[in-house]
Structure 1
Amino acid sequence: MSMNRPAAAALAAALCLLTAACGSSSDGTASDSTTEAAGSTSGYPVTLDNCGEKQAFEKAPGRVVVMNGGSVAEVSTLIALGIEDKVVANQQTYGMSEVPGRAEAIKKLPTGNVTLDDAYDIPRETMLGLRPDLVLSVTTYGFDQKNGFATREQLKQVGANSYVSPQGCDDDPSKMTVADSYQLLRDMGKIFNVNDKAEKLIAESEKNIAAVSEKVKGEKPPKVMVLFSNMSMGSNDFSSVVAKGIINDILAKAGGANAFEDAAETTFADLSKEKVAATDVDALVVISYNDPDPAAYAKKLLKEFPQWPAAKNNTYVTLSDSMYLGPSNDLAVEKIAEMLHPDAV
């Protein structure tokens, strides 16, 4: 699919889809997102310092609006925590998921009958008309007045808190890691007083990833090309190739390495066909963003570049939401490791 600039910017911002001023730093330590709960048996009040904005919660939000931003991290986190019933309007979807039933669960959520604006998200007056008490955005882009969105101050004036996901403060997802997915879970757990559930999900993910990483320890890391299927985000033939961000952390944990990590300082590399052809690609990860047949795109690429080791060995995997910020990164680590090191995993 072809994306215009606002949509591409929103998707890039989502990747974890999304930077270091908010959420977790690249070493997994908290950087600028802190939560405190006063000594109440209810778990409230909760105060969250989010991108320099103090958000105070006296009770669990009951009217949550999830902005688009090219992400499903936020809505998937709410579903994983079992609090999707709080959502009154959700604009996030990929159309598929590695988690059975998740795509269907997202599809069932109310949309608020919202008509998105030219920036592919909820315009200001529509947002205020939804009467939210919490608005979730992938990055600060979703609260930018010049894009026609309600600002965080305007939301505060009508009694709504707002939240920018980890690594979203600077609209730069290039430093994002799996630790940021855990920060998002932890923050939502505190805001909605489901801390135990959040910590359980984090512990399970950490355990699963550690088990896979141990199995592939010492194996030579194959060079992996990661890109979005049928998507154009720049001027060259290959403008949706991932160079930086959470995907590199996922690859490393799965015993792989990004073949194009040095091709750009930003999240995406805008590459020519010649550059792609001249690079040895041992394996291919194709990410679907509302593409019903990413495998067809993967096979087309392998046929186009028969000189790749990936083409000679038919080594590819298609994934979707587990490759982004969100609660299911352990599934991506497992599936990629199985592709790269089948004898070890």
Structure 2
Amino acid sequence: MLFFKTYQIRRATFWECELFLCAIVMASTGCGNTTNVSGIPNVTSVESANTSYYPVTVQTFDTEGKSVEMTFSKIPKRVVADRVNTLAVLLALGQGDKVIATSAGESPLSYARLKEKYPEEIKKVQGNYGFDLDLETVVSLQPDFIMGWKSSFAKNRFRSTEWWNSQGVNTYILGTSNHVIPQGKIEDECQFILDMGRIFHAEDKANGYVEEIHSEISRAQMYAKGKPPQLAMMLEVGGRNIFNYDDGWIIGDMVRQMGGVMPVKARKLSSEQLIEYDPDVIFVDYFMEGQKANIQKFFDAPEYNSLKAVKNHRIYLIPFDYMYAPGINTIDGIRIVRDGLYPDLAGT
């Protein structure tokens, strides 16, 4: 037996939606934000209580993946957090009461972890819409800030960042989502955490999380010094399919910084190719609890008996939100990768 370690809203027609959007925008009194994106009107309303701290400007991306500046004249109070990791960072920074809508419920296992980790803060979140968080819903809520992946601002989701910015609504796209940044790095996740700390005036908490990440990496690097590099692979398996994440994803930087290598570039692999690569350690992502048994069954197949990772019990399961645009969960992903590369450090 293989051993591994784990740690309805009605859709409006296009024209109905356009009329609805216009009505909401005209009724809105403005969100009190400004943006430096070229060609977008500025709407400014700075609360006197925040004049000593705001405005705050951060670097983010637009729908096309271009770098832009986004300026906040006051703390956002009506936030739409698309995807579970955008919600997670706000909960960690004590900003749950600012979230009026999230789609985090579309990932039930990840959302359950958030409830366990931030039991009081998550109660403050006003709406968890899951897969029902659509354009019509978002517009009706009149947000002042929308954060998510690049795909959040696709035509079939919430419309472009430029459109929202033109309505006085600030946006933020995670740089390591959808390969906006071609070579994702741990420091990109740290910058995301720091940006949220600045935007929500919670810099001390944000700095603490980033320091924890840097400390964990430094400890693993000291342990790895002088040791031969570990050959690692990050896989997603299902049925007979084997999908590979190359070192361009954030998981690649985790492995690289802690003394491992991920040389395989191909997205899809055959069983013969996996056997030929024969990595020292294999990380496998999962979305739901039920997948664990399927992953076990996959690697129990006789054809994989020769793999070093199977024989040495070095197959490690990692939640998807710990290795893809992980944000505040970066530290958890780092610890799983550390344990996989250096089992002697496990649990320390």
TM-score normalised over the length of structure 1: 0.72
Partner in structure 1 of residue 160 of structure 2? 151
Aligned match of 1:137: 148
Q: Computing the radius of gyration over CA atoms, which structure comes out larger, 1 or 2?
A: 2
1:92 is matched with 104
Q: Which residue of 1 aligns with 2:323?
A: 323
Contact 2:96/2:122 (8 A) holds in 1: no
1:20 corresponds to = none
Q: 1:307 Cα deviation (Å)?
A: 0.9
Which of 273, 276, 289 matches 2:274? 276
- Any stretches of 5+ residues in structure 2 without a counterpart? 1-36, 38-49, 62-66
Pick closer, same or farther for the CA change 1:298–1:42 going to 2, 3 Å: farther
Question: Contact 1:77 / 1:184 at 8 angstroms: preserved in 2?
Answer: no
Residues 1:263 and 2:265 are matched in the alignment: yes
Contact 1:298 1:316 in 2 (8 A): no
Contact 2:56 2:199 (8 Å CA) reproduced: yes
The count of residues paired between Structure 1 and Structure 2 equals 284
Aligned to 2:297: 300
> Would the aligned equivalents of 2:88 and 2:328 in 1 still touch at CA under 8 Å?
yes
Q: How does 1:97-136 map to 2 (within 5 A)?
A: 101-102=116-117, 109-111=125-127, 113=129, 116=132, 122-136=133-147
Matching residue of 2:205 = 197
From 189, 214, 231, the counterpart of 1:223: 231
- Contact kept, 8 Å, 1:89 with 1:111, in 2: the verdict is yes
What letter matches 2:53 in structure 1?
A: G
CA RMSD of aligned residues (A): 2.9
What SS does the corresponding residue of 1:318 show, helix, strand or coil?
Answer: strand
Aligned partners of 2:257 and 2:114: how far apart in 1?
20
Q: Which residue of 2 aligns with 1:11?
A: none
**Matched residue, 1:340:** 341
1:76 aligned partner = 88
The structural deviation recorded for 1:226 is 1.4
Pick aligned residue for 2:254 from 250, 253, 257? 250
Structure 1 gap ranges (5+): 1-32, 34-39, 117-121
Letter in 1 for 2:55: P
User: Greater RCO between the two (CA within 8 Å, min separation 6)?
Assistant: 1
How high is the TM-score relative to the length of structure 2?
0.72
Work out the CA distance in 2 between the residues paired with 1:48 and 1:202.
Answer: 17
Deviations 1:292-337 (A, max 9, x none): 1444234223322111011111212222133233123233323332
> For residue 142 of structure 2, what is the amino acid of its counterpart?
R
Paired with 1:313 and 1:252, the residues of 2 have a C-alpha distance of 21
Deviates most, 72-81 or 90-99: 90-99
How far apart are the structure 2 equivalents of 1:85 and 1:166?
Answer: 25
Q: Equivalent pairs: percent with the same residue? A: 26
Tell me which residue corresponds to 1:13.
none
Could you give the per-residue CA deviations for residues 55-110 of structure 1, whole angstroms, max 9, x where no partner exists? 32121101100123xxx331111112111221111112541388892386797544
Equivalent position of 1:312 in the other structure = 311
Rounded to whole Å, the distance in 2 between the matches of 1:246 and 1:153 is: 27
Q: What is the CA–CA distance in structure 2 between the aligned matches of 1:302 and 1:148, rounded to whole Å? A: 37
Structure 2: distance between partners of 1:150 and 1:318 = 35
Q: Specify the code of the residue in structure 2 equivalent to 1:274.
A: E
CA distance in 2, matches of 1:302, 1:115: 32
1:44 and 2:48 equivalent?
A: no
Asked whether the equivalents of residues 216 and 337 of structure 1 are also in contact (C-alpha less than 8 Å), the reply is: no
Contact 2:146 2:170 survives alignment (8 Å): yes
Q: Shift of the alpha carbon at 1:123?
A: 3.2
Distance between the aligned counterparts of 2:205 and 2:292, measured in 1?
Answer: 34
Q: Is 1:238 equivalent to 2:231 in the alignment?
A: no
The amino acid that maps onto 1:283 is V
- Residues of 2 paired with 1:180 and 1:105: CA distance? 28
Cα displacement string for residues 206-258 of structure 1 (whole angstroms, at most 9, x for unaligned residues): 1122112211222222222212354x8xxx8213x211311111112333322
SS in structure 1 opposite 2:100? strand
Matched, 1:286 2:294: no
Matched, 1:64 2:59: no
CA gap of 1:341–1:160, structure 2 versus 1, over 3 A, is same
The 3 A distance-change label for structure 1 pair 173 and 276 is farther
Q: Relative to total residues, which structure has the larger helix share, 1 or 2?
A: 2
Aligned partners of 1:91, 1:41: CA distance in 2, in Å? 32
What's the offset of the Cα at 1:143? 1.9
Structure 1: distance between partners of 2:171 and 2:251: 27
